[in-house]
Amino acid sequence: MSGTTESGNMTEPHNRPVREASAHRETAETQIAVRLVVDGEGRFSGSVGIPFFEHMLNLLARHAMMDIEINGKGDTDVDAHHTVEDVGIVMGRALKTALETRHGIERYGEAYVPMEETLARCVIDICNRPFLKFDAQIPKTKIGDFDAELAEDFMRAFAFNACLTMHITVIYGGNMHHVVEAVFKSVGRALAKASSRNPRIIGAHSTKGSLE
């Protein structure tokens, strides 16, 4: 049996709520807790026992300008899949809770990130319609102890649980470390734009009047 809980916590300095939330998931395979601050400084802390993955999360947090604290463990003695996927689930749910109604945000964000021979692009819509298009040729290979194809599994879990439409494209690239790193950075930078507040936007940035 598994369960997930989320909680929002907001304060109002200068009438601008700090958007933050926590989420937790515990199953027979993983125990993961996340605290995410949308209006952060780009800080990452914590551990789930997968060093390269933690490095990628650090890059995502830095370029999203979000503070992300993750603690937990999973059955990495089997492989890293359950842990990576569940981190995506919990991070996504924390982001969805932190953004709440999505009022006043840009909603759309895009970013191109080069890394030497690699160029990655991410385009995001914070729209409550979960979808992932992951267009990248990532072979079944390891980067350190990390299975490179798990990058897509993380992004799918994150997008669907944050209720994002997210299109990720690796336009070209060769070195798999560079490819995966450019992907995580592009997602972070696109998130920073999409979640940013615009004082000219009143309510939801939609002709329907709602992003629910």
Residue 131 is part of a domain; what is its CATH number? 3.30.230.40
Any domain includes 34: yes
The pLDDT > 70 percentage for the chain reads: 88
Q: From CA 192, how far away is CA 199, in angstroms rounded? A: 16
Tell me whether strands 131-135 and 118-126 are parallel, antiparallel or unpaired: unpaired
Q: Does residue 168 sit within a domain?
A: yes
Please report whether residue 205 resides in a domain.
Answer: no
Does pLDDT of 3 surpass 90?
A: no
pTM comes to 0.89
Q: Is residue 208 one of the residues assigned to a domain?
A: no
Total domain count for the chain? 1
Sign for the CA dihedral angle at 29, 149, 182, 144 comes to positive
Residue span of the structural domain in which 61 resides: 3-194
pLDDT tens digits for 121-176? Answer: 999 999 989 999 999 999 999 998 899 999 999 999 999 999 999 999 999 999 99
The helix or strand, by DSSP H or E, that contains position 188, with its residue range, turns out to be helix 176-194
79 band by pLDDT with thresholds 50, 70 and 90: confident
Q: For residue 25, is it within any domain?
A: yes
Residue 84 has pLDDT above 90, yes or no: yes
Cα–Cα distance for residue pair 76/78, rounded to 1 Å:
5
- pLDDT above 80 for 63: yes
The three state secondary structure string of 82-134 is HHHHHHHHHHHHHHHHHHCCCCCECCEEEEEEEECCEEEEEEEEECCCCEEEE
In angstroms, the Cα distances linking 166 to 36, 107, 108, 148 are 19, 12, 10, 19
pLDDT digits (tens, 9 = 90+) for 7-22: 554 444 446 788 999 9
Asked whether residue 204 is assigned to any structural domain, the reply reads no
Candidate from 5-19, 42-56, 97-111, 165-179 with smallest mean pLDDT: 5-19
Q: What is the CA radius of gyration of the chain?
A: 16
- Is 177 contained in some domain? yes
Q: Is 58 part of a structural domain of the chain?
A: yes
